[in-house]
Structure 1
Amino acid sequence: MAVPSAEDRVSQALAAWSAGDRVQALSVLDEAARAGADSARYHMLCGIVARQTGQLDVALAAYRRAIEREPELAEAWFNLANTCVLQGDLPAAVEAYEATLRLNPAAFQAWNALGSTLTALQAYARASQVLRHAVRIAPDFAESWNNLGRLCWQVGEVGEAIAAFRRAVALAPERAEFHSNLLTLLHYDPDCSGAQIAAEHRAWAERHAPAVATAVPARQSDPRRRLRIGYVSSNFRHDAAGVFIASALCHHDADAFEVYAYCEAPDADALTARMRAAVAHWTETWRLDDAGFARRVEEDAIDILIDLNGHTGRGRLRAFSRRLAPLQFTWLGYEGATGVPAMDALIADANVAPVSGDLHGMEGVIRLPYSFQCWTPPDAAPTPAPRSSREPVFGCFNKPAKLNLGVLASWASILLRVPDARLVLKSAAYADPMARERVLAILTQHGVAAPRIEFRGASSYAEMMRQYADIDVALDPFPFSGGATSCDALWMGVPVVTLRGERFSANHTVSHLAAAGFPEWIADSQEAYARIASRLVTDREMLAMLRLSMRGVVAEAPLCNGRLFTRHLEIRLRTAWQAWCAEAQR
């Protein structure tokens, strides 16, 4: 019998790998290496193996050797591009995807990946062209529709984003993350009712996290004992959620509560270090699948498990559906209830979830006093500086997706009331003309001259805070209001005007202003919103006084009082535990 050649062994290894037999594939690949294999296919398979085992540098080198031996091998270029994405070298990935498509223009997966990478690079106009081509040539590939939805979301085309996500869900109903993207976008849509939002959440739960007859984990039903509290989040860092999470993690009573943090992302910074040092147990769970995550929580015997992601990225709602703790709550990272039957309650307050309101049959509600969030001010922020210009300036540093037709029409009416005022809009998305043109077109249609609108792109957090020195009054969007952005403005001495709404997402800033001590900037109608904003921006003495005094007021208010906030949170958690114990002892 003839001895298999090196290339024969490469073919065998590739077949074994494709069949999922990794042990056999690696064994035969090793034989091919000893036989002197040096073909493009051999090096490409070495790259695939290296990438799957986390050796990204080895994989890149292998793919490049494959390309050196066969420059026309489109698959090697595609694998090279995918590995560049994993390493964070997005410009190199774009070059490799483009090379793939020059060799194989019908490679719809490469079109999709190129569009996704361009979106990450904020090259939105180009990404739009690429992703629209991707869905034209492969209209049944759900991934492209999802990425098109993400692109439209980032540039503010919410209606088109919702349509794209619906298409992705229809094509791949098993992909929970596509459906979660749709749920999140519905909160941005002013035309979507609370009942419609709730119905879509229930549909997600029925498909991905249905109610199951799972026994409640056994725990000692002692209402007074030290409780094990587990927090689950991908935002244990300085971001829009992390600046609120930190207040609770850093101020728990360690004698009464043993805190476990389950970290769902590898990203870390100084705030991560502060939170990690404050808790009794910190576990990196982002590498675990849901089954592994569930085992870890069960081993820790958690009494109360708190979800901090909801339907945002890297959430664990499907794991929560297994009932991992006697009590399970959702809090802070999402725009309200999740719809998951195993989630016992949403932690909120009377502004974001009024007692008279309706969650449409989803979770119960635990209401905190003051606010459902407590903000952690930045360690270093510039001192608020008096405005040197006499020209009135409104500002909004929120993402374009929050600036719907109604918001922009309202802002246009305010600018027409104050004819010498300007509007500064800041977001990373505005670096690309696609995001700017939509907003500018709507405002000019309502009679606002283009020179009165200034767009600013991305900057560091410190630089963003410094740019509040150019703003007199911050305008809060609706029905999806600002969160951390509103707190940033208040910290820099800039008043924020907001419109009370009917849904959770509409009332973030309402809650923050009430907890900061400035309820007079909360409007109950669009007319009142315009009136408050117009009056504030023209009251130079008031603005000057606020600029110099507001930080001190905010620092002493419940909005920033982590100890006060956490004591009230602990009271609610203890009360819920006592109720569970009473029920368990019956």
Structure 2
Amino acid sequence: MIPTLATHTPDKLQQAYQYLIQCSYEQAVCLYEQIIQAEPENKSCYCYLGLALLLQGKVAEAQTTWLIAMMEDDETQAADWTQELTEVLIGESVRREAIEEYSNAEIIRQQIKEFSPTNISNLLHLVQLIIQQEKYISDELIELEIITLLQSEPPVEVEWEILSAVLQAVLDVAPLHPSSLSLAEVCLRYIHEQYQADNFINILVPIAINTAYSLKQADIGASYLKLGLKIDGENRELLFYITGIYYVLGKYQTGIETAKLVYSLSEELPDIVFASSLILKGLVSSGGSNWQAACVAWEQHESLLKALVSERSLSITPLQVSRIFNINYFTPYFQDNPREYRILRNQLAEICQNNLAITYQTEVAKYQADRSQQKIANKKLKIGYLSHCLRSHSVGWLTRWLIKYHDRERFDINAYLISCEPTFDPLHDWYLTQFDHVYKSENLKQVTEQIYQDEIDILVDLDSITLDLTCGIIALKPAPIQVTWLGWDASGIPAIDYFIADPYVLPESADEYYREKIWRLPQTYIAVDGFEVGVPTLRRDDLNIPTDAVVYFSGQRGFKRHPDTARLQMNILKEVPNSYFLIKGDADEEYIKSFFYELATEVGVEIERLRFLPGAPSEAAHRANLGIADVVLDTYPYNGATTTLETLWMGIPLVTRVGEQFAARNSYTMMINAGITEGIAWTDAEYVEWGVRLGNDENLRQQIARKLKASRRTSPLWNGKQFAREMEKAYEQMWQKYIGTST
């Protein structure tokens, strides 16, 4: 707002204002004082004179100047002048914000607050400026009484645009602070139009997800989603997300009931199938007595999957596609039937890729175009690793040895990290220092384009179907060669060329039903140099277990506890006198106890011989606590993987039941590669026999422990450098095959 005065030369007013915006404050002050001396009734110039003094840092002089201007005014005139001053200051603050002079804009807004402390719009802008300068400490909403003002009756007048913008900014920088949740809650009373409700929900959802998963504060994440549900209690998207958070919190029954509501609200088949998978996830994850209901839900779910496959729709939305990618995640936990499972898995993945190809047809066409410029026989290969797990996670613990030993003379290695911003994670921080380039994003198009622009030769998918965004990136095929390794079984996505395995984890017969070419490394598909082991936090006497007792242990998540295998474990316990069973894992404590108590009673085992362990304070402590066990009993049809490696590293005998599918052969390949055959069972009867034999034969247990300790020096399982060379050799052979030269 430029001052205008009919009785004074406009040129001087214009010049004074130019001095002001050019930050020539002394000259501006001098000129405004001249104008006021000539025409003291010109109150507008007092506004600008005070503003120039304020921006010089002369706060008291500025306030005195404004006070002088209103001294001779009556109440009405003073109010009018205050309004004019406010408009002048707001106008200049807005101009300063536009040119990113946030500090000066804040100084001006602070002065507005002094004579207009309840101007909610000004206070909200003030918070915005503090956040933009990275000075926000989360107390400002309380100190400025913003929440109190917004709670007042009747409601204050406030523009939704500034209120929602501040809400977004506050939640971005301080989602965990109680005042942030209070601000979100009070915003509800200012929502009057549908677009405002949609805007509010769109702000809350990503914040809730980040809070629940990345910041590991699931309860706060759920609180944000509940605010959205107050607006629309049947919003399927909100219900989808809050169901997942309930499961993270261990509130399985609440999550299951919410998932059932989602199911009842779903109309399109892709949404119905996804809702079905949410119900199934809750039933399986809670473990225990829900297993029978889970079996019924799984059979119904399989029927829905087959109906979805038979439709072969090409009108599935990208959001629906992202959910279909991992919609049959739980099948391997129910049965060991890879031929049937892989066919369905491959069909679902193909449907997803075909639908994405329509949505992203421009990108797909570009990525499929001639890449002859990359086809150089003996070049330094560019390897890209794509994952959300390069942190304190099983994939993070196991991948690090390959990354550590990569030959940087022959390979450039990039990391493409998705949804990976853990708080205080030394392993993640280590990864950030190991790659030539690290790219972080949660945007499918951005990550895919970056991989393409980086001219990655071989893209290694470490997630498989454990993350929908990874699946979407892989399906667009931004790299000429794409490989799945480690994170799970193969995804079945047509854009994947190879699945890395070994001769033990996948027999030759598996070639018949895998879409991907199985690339078998000569010995093992995984190797590590070892694990960090901390100080034990549990002793036998803490658990009231005699020192001479035989202690069995099983530490797996709830959905790996198939009742048939758990029953076999109870039979082992029954046959070994003075034996106890330690049970640890992520599941509903009430359900898992009920589950094992029922099985123990059925088999004839005293429930007093069962112990349920809490989580350890760290991975290193968990490994140290394994030393309390004499024998570890593996799960089937889904074995342990990282847990098996940890068990073998700690020198503890393991009993595993070998099956046909990848998930049922992990422990088998690891034991073979550690030089151990004792404990490998091919039938249920052998599983019980080995469990009983190892429990009763202390000498055999000691013999196995010695062999496992010795294997640290000779086994390919514990040789990360050798494994890195084998992986690199595989990469080079894949490349030679791609460019059409002999291997």
TM-score by length of 1: 0.81
Match 1:253 to one of 383, 401, 407:
407
Amino acid in the other structure paired with 2:420: P
Contact 2:325–2:468 (8 Å) recurs in 1: no
Contact 1:481–1:509 (8 Å) recurs in 2: yes
Match 1:66 to one of 175, 187, 202:
187
Match of 2:350 in 1: 206
The count of aligned residue pairs is 549
Match of 1:377 in 2: 530
Structure 2 CA distance, aligned partners of 1:456 and 1:144? 32
Match of 2:658 in 1: 500
The 1:433/1:579 distance shift into structure 2, 3 A limit, reads same
SS in 2 for 1:428: coil
Contact 1:348–1:367 (8 Å) recurs in 2: yes
SS in 2 for 1:357: helix
Match of 1:275 in 2: 431
1:404 offset after TM fit, Å?
1.1
Amino acid in the other structure paired with 2:595: R
The 1:413/1:118 distance shift into structure 2, 3 A limit, reads same
1:518 offset after TM fit, Å?
1.3
- CA deviations 1:428-481 (Å, max 9, x no partner) are 325x31233234333433333322222223232233223213211011111210
Structure 2 CA distance, aligned partners of 1:435 and 1:383? 24
Amino acid in the other structure paired with 2:421: D
Structure 2 CA distance, aligned partners of 1:561 and 1:449? 43
The 1:281/1:105 distance shift into structure 2, 3 A limit, reads closer
The 1:443/1:371 distance shift into structure 2, 3 A limit, reads farther
Match 1:420 to one of 572, 578, 597:
578
Say which is worse superposed, 500-509 or 309-318, in terms of deviation.
309-318
Match of 1:190 in 2: 335
1:306 offset after TM fit, Å?
1.1
SS in 2 for 1:187: helix
Structure 2 CA distance, aligned partners of 1:235 and 1:94? 23
Match 2:633 to one of 449, 463, 475:
475
1:333 offset after TM fit, Å?
0.6
Match 2:211 to one of 60, 84, 87:
87
Match of 1:22 in 2: none
SS in 2 for 1:553: helix
Higher helix proportion (structure 1 or 2): 2
1:180 has 2:297 as partner: no
1:515 has 2:646 as partner: no
1:227-242 to structure 2, matched below 5 A, reads 227-242=381-396
1:162 has 2:298 as partner: yes
- CA deviations 1:99-155 (Å, max 9, x no partner) are 887898767766655543322211223433444455457787646544323322322
The 1:327/1:81 distance shift into structure 2, 3 A limit, reads closer
Match of 1:288 in 2: 443
Amino acid in the other structure paired with 1:500: V
SS in 1 for 2:665: helix
Structure 2 CA distance, aligned partners of 1:396 and 1:520? 18
Contact 1:423–1:453 (8 Å) recurs in 2: yes
The 1:259/1:453 distance shift into structure 2, 3 A limit, reads same
1:94 offset after TM fit, Å?
5.0
Say which is worse superposed, 452-461 or 86-95, in terms of deviation.
86-95
The 1:96/1:264 distance shift into structure 2, 3 A limit, reads closer
1:455 has 2:612 as partner: yes
Structure 1 CA distance, aligned partners of 2:157 and 2:606? 60
The 1:323/1:398 distance shift into structure 2, 3 A limit, reads same
1:137-156 to structure 2, matched below 5 A, reads 142=272, 144-156=275-287
Match of 2:361 in 1: none
Amino acid in the other structure paired with 1:506: A
Could you tell me which runs of 5 or more consecutive residues in structure 2 were left unpaired when the two chains were aligned: 1-119, 125-148, 309-314, 358-363, 541-545
Contact 1:56–1:87 (8 Å) recurs in 2: no
Match of 2:478 in 1: 324
SS in 2 for 1:497: strand
Contact 2:481–2:497 (8 Å) recurs in 1: yes
1:404-419 to structure 2, matched below 5 A, reads 404-419=562-577
- CA deviations 1:246-293 (Å, max 9, x no partner) are 121111111111111111232342222333323222221x3222x222
Match of 2:255 in 1: 127
The 1:536/1:144 distance shift into structure 2, 3 A limit, reads same
TM-score by length of 2: 0.65
Match 1:571 to one of 711, 725, 729:
729
The 1:248/1:565 distance shift into structure 2, 3 A limit, reads same
The 1:380/1:87 distance shift into structure 2, 3 A limit, reads same
Greater RCO between the two (CA within 8 Å, min separation 6)?
Answer: 1
Contact 1:154–1:429 (8 Å) recurs in 2: yes
Structure 2 CA distance, aligned partners of 1:502 and 1:490? 22
The 1:466/1:229 distance shift into structure 2, 3 A limit, reads same
Structure 2 CA distance, aligned partners of 1:434 and 1:576? 48
- Cα RMSD after superposing both structures: 3.9
Structure 2 CA distance, aligned partners of 1:306 and 1:471? 37
Amino acid in the other structure paired with 2:510: G
Contact 2:475–2:493 (8 Å) recurs in 1: yes
The 1:108/1:462 distance shift into structure 2, 3 A limit, reads same
The 1:101/1:527 distance shift into structure 2, 3 A limit, reads same
